[in-house]
A = this chain, B = another copy of it.
Amino acid sequence: MKAAIIGTSGYGGGELIRILNNHPFFSIHSVHTAREERPISFEYPHLTNIFEQVLTSIDPEKIVAESDVVFLATPSKVSGELVESFFHKDIKVIDLSGDLRLKESDSYRKWYKHEPVAESVLTEAVYGLSEWNREKIADASILANPGCYPTAALLGLAPVIKEKVIDPKSVIIDAKSGVSGAGRSPSLGTLYAELNENFKIYKVNEHQHTPEIEQQLSLWNGAEMKITFSTHLIPVTRGIMTTMYVNLKKEIDTVKLLDLYEETYSRHPFVRVRKKGIFPAVKEVKGSNYCDIGLHADSRTGRLTIVSVIDNLMKGAAGQAVQNANIMFGLDETAGLNLMPLYP
């Protein structure tokens, strides 16, 4: 199967190349940029001799004619503008931006501060949280790949929300991300000298991933949920940890809760649950598509602490996008994704 990638000058696009270049069933047919045409190894010398295609301009008709799937590794708004050219055409679309994720246009306007795509597109787009939406993904022709924070948070919260063992009003998500999530465009805030030896909080109660998390939690909960959500910048390149605090409705011990998680995720190869007393660290998933989870219930306070980690460029972006492509094309969900964590 042939894949086209749009927007390879960001880190998400680069990661798609890393995965798809060794994928057993997909080949990268073309890579595209809105900027001037040039060999991709000018952007990414690490691809020398490995992947030497030329970035070409974006010609949707040609892409539809030549490829089976197109990955939009473009920023919000750009994706939204592009997506309509591929909608209801003979190509599957996987969008890595936030433009197709929110079902309610008003919510998009409020959190993204610009106009959403057409309702008809939003209605059809399937939310690609692979472990929890597999059947719809299998049938999807247009897919909204989840955000990095929502992926980590939702995989960590799903079992206790669905089992209704926690107070849905009590959810607090303290999230921390590596810097690659901020993209590759130069800005003061992402300079080395500003972030190195630093740790920042940003977008307190204002992150645009808030409604995405709430939308999915509310679906599982069967009633609207609101969360408290904070995001921090860790001085690492890759990795997200979400530390989540919820109030247990009644006392349940750590082992019982871990059993619930083990059982829930036993058929899902990319979710790993740690044993009691052990918590995952972001480096344990670096470069891989895993989401690792640990938790502890505190009888002193009746509160549960859940910790999940992912590589933001993999399970949080390109990895999950390929996992979804696998599902959409009826392949083994792990095809091309047996990339072990790079440790140390």
Contact = CB atoms under 8 A, between A and B. Distances in A.
A300 B226 contact: yes
Interface of A: 11, 14, 18, 21-22, 44-50, 169, 172, 174, 176, 179-180, 182, 184, 186-188, 190-202, 204-205, 226-228, 230, 232, 234-239, 241, 243, 245, 269, 272, 274, 278-288, 292, 294, 296, 298, 300-301, 303, 305, 307, 338, 340-344
Contacts of A236: 196-199, 235
Contacts of A238: 197, 344
Given A184-B194, A197-B236, A201-B241, 20 more contacts: A45-B274, A45-B281, A46-B341, A48-B272, A172-B172, A172-B245, A180-B193, A196-B237, A197-B197, A197-B238, A197-B282, A198-B236, A198-B239, A200-B279, A201-B281, A205-B296, A228-B298, A232-B241, A237-B344, A245-B245
A172 B244 CA distance: 10
A282 to B, nearest CB: 5
A274 B49 CA distance: 11
Contact of A193 (B46, B198, B284, B344): B344
